[in-house]
């Protein structure tokens, strides 16, 4: 048996032991309906938060794939005018968790996002940019891999191939879970980054929004309480909202024009991909079939779409 297989097997045994222990403890409680399957939600316990987050992000039946889904509208934001819907987006991810055997888990992920016509839902390969009166070639998001380690400390944040320093402040992972009702728990997690751009203006005059990148991502989870409390549920399915404040996409060829984009959409984590629209599924099956499965081992570097663009594309000719 390989070392990876031993870790997976060990992780599965640990999860089962934990589920059994929780079940025994619950059985000793007064005879309340559902008590035998409930586990206290220890919001102030970093290890409980680690495992809750892992069950949201992936599947603690280690090695089993979980999928993310997201879809919505990308809007242009400029001074002195209302937000302008530009195009739709829809994408998905595939995630596999592996147990490191030291109380931390590898989250191995690849993801893709396609931009779509607002009227037809067709995946765009070119798009008329009204800001510059030009047809531009659309470049989808293809992040492969985008890996993190889930542990009882907050993740240090991505370095994007060394462009930004890893956060050094080791804070215990205490997530802002909030009980909404008897059957619903909410969670909000935000990321705010400002770091040197891989697309410097002198080399990428039409693609670069500037020397630095400012990006924020905001995640809102709506979680079934019964799944969060049930230790036998190794993968918690959820719905929610996702938004991203982003520079102009490089392929929009906006250069250093003032403004930015705002993604606003719905998201979820599921053990299937039944929610994918037929048009996006067909496009992904043709162009990115590997994205329906998750990576099986850790790889570096993990890049966002901006750094990936710098590695895979070439600067556009300067417009005369």
Over the stretch 194-229, which tens digit does the pLDDT of each residue have? 999 999 999 999 999 999 999 999 999 999 999 999
Q: What is the pTM of this model?
A: 0.87
Rounded to whole angstroms, what are the CA distances from 204 to 76, 269, 306? 21, 36, 12
Spell out where the chain has E strands.
65-77, 84-99, 105-116, 126-129, 134-137, 141-143, 148-150, 178-181, 184-196, 212-224, 238-246, 260-270
Confidence check: pLDDT of 52 > 80? yes
Q: Residues 291-313: what's their mean pLDDT? A: 95
pLDDT number for residue 26: 39
Confidence check: pLDDT of 2 > 60? no
Cβ–Cβ < 8 Å for 306, 250: yes
Nearest to 293 by CA among 99, 112, 110, 60: 110
pLDDT number for residue 22: 42
| Residues 91-121 pLDDT 10s | 999 999 999 999 999 999 999 999 999 999 9
Chain center to CA of 310:
21
Whether residue 320 lies inside any domain: the answer is: no
- When comparing pLDDT for 9 and 192, which is higher? 192
pLDDT number for residue 23: 40
The end-to-end CA distance of the chain, in Å, is 62
Average pLDDT, the chain: 90
> How many separate domains does the chain show?
1
Q: How far is it, in rounded angstroms, from Cα 131 to Cα 75?
A: 12
Cβ–Cβ < 8 Å for 227, 237: yes
DSSP 281: H
Chain center to CA of 83:
25
pLDDT number for residue 315: 97
Host domain of residue 13: 3-312
Burial of 155 (0-12, 13-18, 19+ CB in 10 A): middle
Q: How far is it, in rounded angstroms, from Cα 161 to Cα 296?
A: 20
Least confident of 22-26, 52-56, 245-249: 22-26
pLDDT number for residue 287: 98
Confidence check: pLDDT of 25 > 50? no
| Residues 120-152 pLDDT 10s | 999 999 999 999 999 999 999 999 999 999 999
Beta-strand relationship, 126-129 and 134-137: antiparallel
Q: Band the pLDDT of 157: cuts 50, 70, 90.
A: confident
Q: Band the pLDDT of 18: cuts 50, 70, 90.
A: very low
pLDDT number for residue 1: 45
Other Cβ atoms less than 10 A from the Cβ of 319: the count is 10
Q: What are phi and psi of 50, to 5 degrees?
A: -55, -50
């Amino acid at each position: 048996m390989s070392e990876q297989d031993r870790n997976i097997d060990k992780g599965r045994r640990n999860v089962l032991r934990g589920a059994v222990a929780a079940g025994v403890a619950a059985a000793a409680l007064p005879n309340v309906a559902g008590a035998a399957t409930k586990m206290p939600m220890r919001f102030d316990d970093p290890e409980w938060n680690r495992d809750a987050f892992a069950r949201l992000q992936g599947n603690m039946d280690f090695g089993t794939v979980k999928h993310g889904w997201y879809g919505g509208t990308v809007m242009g934001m400029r001074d002195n005018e209302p937000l302008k819907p530009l195009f739709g987006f829809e994408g998905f991810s595939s995630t596999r968790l592996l147990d490191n055997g030291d109380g931390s888990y590898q989250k191995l992920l690849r993801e893709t996002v396609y931009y779509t016509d607002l009227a037809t839902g067709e995946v765009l390969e070119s798009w008329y940019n009204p800001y510059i009166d030009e047809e531009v070639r659309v470049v989808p998001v293809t992040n492969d891999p985008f890996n993190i380690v889930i542990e009882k400390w907050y993740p240090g944040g991505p370095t994007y191939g060394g462009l930004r320093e890893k956060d050094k402040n080791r804070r215990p992972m205490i997530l802002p879970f909030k009980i909404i009702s008897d059957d619903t728990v909410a969670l909000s997690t935000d990321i705010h980054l400002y770091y040197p751009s891989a697309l410097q203006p002198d080399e990428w005059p039409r693609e670069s929004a500037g020397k630095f990148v400012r990006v924020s991502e905001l995640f809102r989870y709506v979680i079934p309480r019964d799944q969060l409390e049930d230790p036998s549920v190794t993968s918690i399915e959820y719905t929610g909202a996702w938004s991203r404040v982003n520079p102009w996409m490089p392929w929009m060829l906006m250069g250093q024009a003032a403004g930015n984009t705002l993604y606003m959409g719905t998201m979820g984590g599921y053990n299937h991909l039944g929610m994918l629209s037929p048009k996006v599924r067909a496009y992904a099956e043709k162009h990115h079939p590997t994205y329906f499965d998750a990576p099986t081992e850790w790889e570096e570097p993990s890049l966002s779409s901006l750094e990936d663009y710098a590695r895979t594309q070439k600067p556009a000719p300067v417009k005369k």
